[in-house]
Structure 1
């Protein structure tokens, strides 16, 4: 087992919470980097390459939503746990759609946060470290998972989001077998607390449009009604 410490980037502007998080996480053996405003958060991600981020939504300079979106566009796939004072389903769905993995509503218990951090770190390595396939061919479409791009006939190139690549990788690890929406929420979104399987349906629909020549009559990313989805490779 490696002695390397997991790095956690905390993006939060409330001094008392910063102190509590830093003290707690360091006592648990994590290396902690702190940003008290939104503008410098992405630069810290590039510099330190954290294993996980704790990200407040309401920040000076740039919102947590904007930071999350930018990080995923840069193809960083580490888990992001968002903190919010709002307890509304729409806020949670928005964060998940932008690439967040989990949510905690303030005030929250430190033990709950630690449990979620450890769960996210465990899950973040469950399949991504063992999947070595970077080039996937689905009929006439070639998908480069390392470059987040799909190449269609006629030299058409379609860019994939980090979440879409994660989704493909997980479906590929279960190729030709059905995968339920709940399983995708837990394993790809790493969000076992959500019952909003509509999130999965929306992402599958967008992904299908990018990797199928005829999305309305898909040959590879198949819906199994009442069951879930399947990626056919044979």
Structure 2
């Protein structure tokens, strides 16, 4: 196995054994691996080199992984994040995804699963339609810039989007007023890895609704089409 180019992955974990094992695995797969064991070291590493992806543990000293993920997502230029955690309850996974993580992997995990998830997130963040989509999509007073992974409201306030949110919103604006099933949304946003987190679409849609000011109990922009999936109701103009 291996990849042609040296992509950089930052591993943040306070367990030295995990840092060593994951780093060795990444290097064997052809990646550059940088490590940090807390939030301060993570930001120090980020100041030296922007990684292509961050593997982020939840249980860290000081600021935990959830808080660090939230802070990272406040920067629209931040790399994609995969949370690694021993917390295996559904609510923990939901929280991680709600905070903007691109995936959530429960410890212990197999090396093949980890590499597959990493490749899937890198593929979505760097080689998908999001990278190719140019221009601006306008709907309901919003402007969506997929290449920059951001929304702008009527006051031109910038609202950053995660990779997964950008993927999902791009599918909606390219397929307005067409009911899309959860399986179809997964296939369009995650491709062959659509089975990995088949409920993550619901979390991403909840986050998109919140960022769009779309009432969760009675949404007007992204409606639930009972028995059919989800419907993006707005007319869309591309400029």
Taking the TM superposition and a 5 Å limit, the aligned residue runs for 1:121-200 are 121-124=122-125, 125-133=127-135, 135-138=136-139, 140-143=141-144, 146=148, 148-152=150-154, 156-163=155-162, 164-175=165-176, 177-184=178-185, 187=189, 192-196=195-199, 197-200=201-204
- Give 3-state SS (helix, strand or coil) of 2:9's partner: strand
1:119 aligns with 2:120: yes
Corresponding residue of 1:74 = 75
Shift of 1:97: 0.1
- 2:231 paired residue number: 229
Matches within 5 A, 1:41-120: 41-76=42-77, 78-120=79-121
Distance (Å, rounded) in 2 between the aligned partners of 1:76 and 1:17: 27
What is the aligned partner in structure 1 of residue 18 from structure 2?
Answer: 17
Residue 116 of structure 1 and its aligned partner are, at CA, apart by 1.3
- Determine if contact 1:41/1:67 at 8 Å carries over to the other structure: no
TM-score (norm 2): 0.78
Q: 3-state SS of the aligned residue for 2:96?
A: helix
CA RMSD in angstroms comes to 3.0
Q: Secondary structure at the match of 1:39?
A: helix
User: How many residue pairs align between the two structures?
Assistant: 224
Given that residues 7 and 32 in structure 1 are in contact (C-alpha distance below 8 angstroms), is that contact kept between their aligned partners in structure 2?
yes
Measure, in 2, the Cα distance between the counterparts of 1:14 and 1:128. Answer: 35
Distance 1:170 1:158 in 2: 23
Separation in 1 of the partners of 2:138 and 2:76? 21
TM-score when normalising by structure 1: 0.80
Deviations 1:204-224 (A, max 9, x none): 4324427x9xxx684x65554
Unaligned runs of 5+ in 2: none
Task: Find 2:209's aligned residue among 180, 198, 205.
Answer: 205
